[in-house]
Structure 1
């Protein structure tokens, strides 16, 4: 079972807090706003320069594409599940349950942050909306885009991959995170900082207390002993 790695936990927490307050404390968010605005306007102009890019952005922000992100995470997870004997498979399924519980709790705690703002497509005027350029169901706006829920869930998955499956799985998970988090920024449904400040800072503060302490292993062991079914293991 994982021992409490307090120095590393505190370091990651400090990085997360420093990241968040570097955005939260300066007036109008300091240099972050200029970065946010620049990224948004760059991609927003590309929408009318390239029809191919417009269609790509619309498709990657359709609800079906969200399902593909789940499929990508499930495929990576299943690759390890298939290699396990029955007892190991049961344990991995329970680990998945713990991961989902952790994601729900961390996400809810993240929404306690007293920050709320609309997406850039609702903040700026005289801009292009994908939903107005194409007759295609897609998400291009949000009335409360901070923090990025989708990005946070992907980051939590990435953390679990590193903790339980090693660096190779971690790098694949990072790639999945980028592929499925960036379209929200490209379409303007999220600011860059919704994900790379909001989601990331929450993950850096909350996730280490789950993965770098006995908490996640302990929950897996408890559920493994108490949930009905075959192939239970003692640890």
Structure 2
């Protein structure tokens, strides 16, 4: 019974709220700001001295590179999709739609949090801006970077892999999340805490109630009944 998940859901909610409050309540964000500042300047200083690193960061933060993250997630999903029969494939398509819907809703809720700030690349004077150093169109700044939209989407993807596919898929999804979230931090478009605190706290609270109760299954099952398609394929003689 899903009610057995209530203690775990409450623990995840406490962790999510505590994580956010540890950032929100202290003056100047407490111990988080020195961590954020150190991570930003660690990467920023290398942008002016390491030509290879500079162009790597520029390319991986170009909007076109976001399609690579989508391809990585799609490839993982496809591995499981191809192993299914027609009913299983139909269900996975619906799960994918619900996953996108979940990401949109949680992202909108995340922006209701009482925190708004500029990215680190806009918060300190005389820093290295990748777009200016290379001339490559790239996302190296944001006027409102909290919480991290891109990171939240990747974390939600990982949660769905654990809930509906397998622990192995979850492990690969976590690796994808780290690989494709890191460039935003390296370039200074996001603070480390935009993802580690902002995105994570929203997902810990929201996704736990959505995925560890019958809520997501109810929506998936309803869509299976309502959407057109061969729900009960005729068996071959």
Tell me the secondary structure at the aligned position of residue 229 of structure 2: coil
1:88 maps to 2:62: no
Give how far 1:231 is off: 3.0
Match in the other structure for 2:32:
32
In the alignment, what sits opposite 2:76? 76
| Other structure's SS at 1:94 match | helix
Question: How far apart are the structure 2 equivalents of 1:126 and 1:55?
Answer: 20
Q: How does 1:45-56 map to 2 (within 5 A)?
A: 45-56=45-56
Aligned to 2:191: 191
* 2:165 aligned partner: 165
- Per the alignment, residue 118 of structure 1 pairs with 118
TM-score with structure 2 length normalisation? 0.96
Whether contact under 8 Å (1:40, 1:188) holds in the other structure is yes
Residue 12 of structure 1: aligned partner:
12
For each residue in 1:186-227, what CA deviation from the matched residue of structure 2 results, as whole angstroms up to 9, or x when unmatched? Answer: 000000000000001111010011110001111111000000
Question: Cα offset for 1:230?
Answer: 1.2
Q: Deviations over 1:69-117 (max 9, x none)?
A: 1111011011100000000000000011111111111111111111110
> Compared with structure 1, are the counterparts of its residues 216 and 146 closer, same or farther at alpha carbon in structure 2 (3 Å cutoff)?
same
Residue 132 of structure 1: how far off its partner (Å): 0.6
Partner of 1:3: 2
Deviations 1:127-178 (A, max 9, x none): 1000110011100000000000000000000000011112110110000000
Does the 8 Å contact 1:224/1:232 carry over to 2? no
Number of residues paired by the alignment?
A: 232
Query: Which piece of structure 1 moves more, 148-157 or 97-106?
Result: 97-106
User: Distance between the aligned counterparts of 1:231 and 1:213, measured in 2?
Assistant: 25
Contact 1:90-1:232 at 8 Å conserved across structures: no
Match runs of 1:138-217 below 5 Å: 138-217=138-217
Q: Tell me the distance in 2 between the aligned counterparts of 1:174 and 1:38.
A: 24
Superposition CA RMSD, Å = 1.0
Give the distance between the partners of 2:231 and 2:75, measured in 1 at CA.
Answer: 23
Consecutive unaligned residues of structure 1, counting only runs of 5 or more, are none
